[in-house]
Structure 1
Amino acid sequence: MTEQVMAAIDGSKFSEGVCDYAAWASLALEAPLTFLHVVDNHPQVAEADLSGNIGLGSREHLLEELSQLDEQRAKVAQEQGRLVLKAARERAIEDGVAEPATRQRNGTLVETLEELQEEIRLLVVGKRGETAHQDSGHLGSSLERVVRTLHRPILMVPDTFKVPEGVMLAFDGSKTTRKGVEMLAKSPLFAGIPVHVVIVGAETGDNRSQLDWALRTLRDAGHEAEGAIRAGEVEATLRAYQEEKGIDLLVMGAYGHSRIRHLLVGSTTTEMLRRARVPVLLLR
């Protein structure tokens, strides 16, 4: 089974960004590209007992009409999805991808991706989905569940594409982030892009040796690399460094073993992801 770049699209304003970043990743990785649209057929409104209001004889007829409405909504959603997939495929071809594929599935996004994850090399998703208010500071609830469920790299992107010119890895010396350094070093996705490695913490001998290892690994693989150890609150310190250096792609290990771990684990989505204006690649 060939692993592929899979892009989840839903017709939201983030879909164009998802298309373009997915095309960029597909070309850089020389991996097939598949666009995925999931139609959630679960009823949006719970059935209510209206018999007391409309008369016992009418209730069955009303429920029948509601059922027909649900069927009509599902058909409309499927047709809208097909149009979105067609537009995405055409856009990817314009971006230079030879034969992008499209798939439409029924179910929930999380269950569908969990089922397909053996086929996924990289998942590309928009920061918020179609149903989330575009000015909201929160991530879509589906995306939060995807991040927690999927054991594949996830590239969360904004609505406008920009070719990345600088990458920042939030590094804590954990197994996950050391694997992140090694992945960055060898991945064609980052060929020719300067890499910044940032440790948030005290200037200790251990932190310095960890940073030196990371920079040596990257430079040995031919990357231009620089690093920093900075004290402060994790999210604010990383964001300040990103803005200072003009970084346009962040890489984070989703499950480390230090304060960075708490950016991605817990009941609420992290400030880092919530405030991000640039793509964030989450490593598992």
Structure 2
Amino acid sequence: MPVKTTIDILRLQGDALWAGGEFAAKILTEPLLDQMAPRGDGRTPVLTLPGFSGPEVSLRPLNRFLNKRGFVADSWGLGINRGPESMEYIATLGRLLGDRIKMMADEHGKAVSLIGQSLGGIYSRELARMFPDEVDRVITLGSPAHVKADQQHLINKGVGFAMRWFTGRPVEELLNEAELENLSLHSPPPGVPLVAIFSPYDGIAHADTTSIPKEYLDLNDGVPRENIEIVCSHIGMGVNPLVLLAVADRLVADRDNWQGFDARSYVPGPLKGLPQLFFPEPAMLARSSYA
């Protein structure tokens, strides 16, 4: 077995073990999170999309947390995310979820916030591109939205094996198809605020692919875009209490007066330095967000 494949399999196993610890941490910190995390207004609709090969239940803890905090969160309703057999699936997804997104927006009188983990985040970005009037913002969790065909080495080989199993096609082939069809998957959805939560220790996708590149943060188009770096696993992002806190915070952020996420605002004075252990870099905002 090639060295990189062996290392990637070990990284995948380590990421899964870490995720188990994050789930335990969520259970232990729930009373504290209940006091700290911001609350929704009771009518903010949120649709969550699981990661590749992930069942809907994988994001149930996130949905429960958000519903308890006064948001109206629900899963995408399509079962296991089996990945795309071709890039045409993006359009199919629009047909499958477009009416649902519009119905949620009409029912609550507010545009829908989309939260997607990994591949679910890529789908969320594309849904926002298709339905900008019905989508309020997109939050991605470890989503490799900025990987090209010649950068597949930045994705864990275990994902490649799983992709072949579920779709019958290798990751590189799907990425090549996207480039040949000139799909603008890498660019952010125009007019829709975008938050990328990523980890420097992600065992599945390199941070270069899961954070918003500087070229898109520098777009001076008045649309908030933000990178939030959190020390966490890839698989456990939907249960990590620090990620949950950041998600709730970004869901209540004012689109018209967007301020960067600051974990220090949630800890008392003597402990202001503590968040730096888990949030290594301050949130990086698009230039236009400072205006």
TM-score scaled to structure 2, two decimals? 0.31
More strand by percentage: 1
**Structure index of larger Rg:** 1
More helix by percentage: 2
